[in-house]
A = this chain, B = another copy of it.
Amino acid sequence: MWHLYHFPLCPFSRKVQLALAEKKVPFALQLAYPWDNDDLFHSLNPAGKTPVMRHAERGLTLADSQAICEYFEEVEQRAPLLPGSAQARAEIRRLVAMFDDALYTDVTAPLMHEKMKKRLFLRQSPDSQVLRRATRLLHDHLDYIDWLIDNNRWLGGAQLSLADFAAAAQLSVIDYLDSLDWSGHDSARGWYRVIKSRPSFAPLLSQRMEGLPPPRHYSDVNA
């Protein structure tokens, strides 16, 4: 049995959860907070980051969300996450990297620091200047998602792909932190609503970060 080491608001663990659920790979969740400096967890992933996948019976450990997704793409053909030609796959991987890197660094990471870490561990108020900057950059990313959806059925092209799940994973954390402002982004909003209503997304809507409840609309698939 696969175990996914994660914490509820880790966007990269969410990306893996979506990918596994789409491919119908069974797995159990195992809570791991990277900031706990747990020796066992660090022995599984020297980078000290979630997600990590572990299959104890087979002695397999996988780390890094993209390496994990590529692994399951290779061993489980069902529900391809990187469909199409080498060129189409390169475009999907470009977008995944952009959401994993830029959207995370610009928006998700600062919001997690200001609204999650400061509240749960540092007992500080969020810095409104950092929040404003993240909100401004979020609009740039949503503009780009609007543009992609205005030109294609899905973010990565004609087919649903890992690009959609990578973007949705980041946005779901931003939404949990009550910072997802859709104003002026009808195309992106319509696309997200479709992803949010997929069965693979349902577990994300029920997971809770202890001490940090989401806004009421978060788990409403019609919101």
B98 touches A46 (CB 8 A): yes
Which one, B62, B75, B90, B98, contacts A94 given CB within 8 A? B62
User: A93: CB under 8 A from chain B?
Assistant: yes
How far apart are the CA atoms of A68 and B91 in the complex, in Å? 9
Would you give the shortest CB distance from A145 to chain B, in whole angstroms? 11
B90 touches A68 (CB 8 A): yes
Q: How large is the interface on A (under 10, 10 to 19, 20 to 34, 35 or more residues)?
A: 20 to 34
Q: Residues of B contacting A71 with CB < 8 Å?
A: 86-87, 89-90, 93
B67 touches A93 (CB 8 A): yes
Would you give the shortest CB distance from A103 to chain B, in whole angstroms? 10
User: A38: CB under 8 A from chain B?
Assistant: no
B64 touches A75 (CB 8 A): no
How far apart are the CA atoms of A94 and B71 in the complex, in Å? 11
Q: Name the residue on B nearest A144 (C-beta).
A: B46
Instruction: List residues of A (80-114) whose CB comes within 8 Å of B's CBs.
Output: 86-87, 89-91, 93-94, 97-98, 101-102
How far apart are the CA atoms of A101 and B104 in the complex, in Å? 13
Q: Residues of B contacting A130 with CB < 8 Å?
A: none
How far apart are the CA atoms of A62 and B87 in the complex, in Å? 8
User: A70: CB under 8 A from chain B?
Assistant: yes
Say yes or no: A94-B60 contact (C-beta < 8 A), given A71-B89, A74-B86.
no
A94 touches B144 (CB 8 A): no
User: A47: CB under 8 A from chain B?
Assistant: yes
How far apart are the CA atoms of A30 and B64 in the complex, in Å? 31
A-B contact pairs, 10 of them (CB 8 A): A45-B94, A47-B94, A47-B101, A62-B94, A64-B98, A66-B66, A66-B97, A70-B89, A71-B86, A74-B89
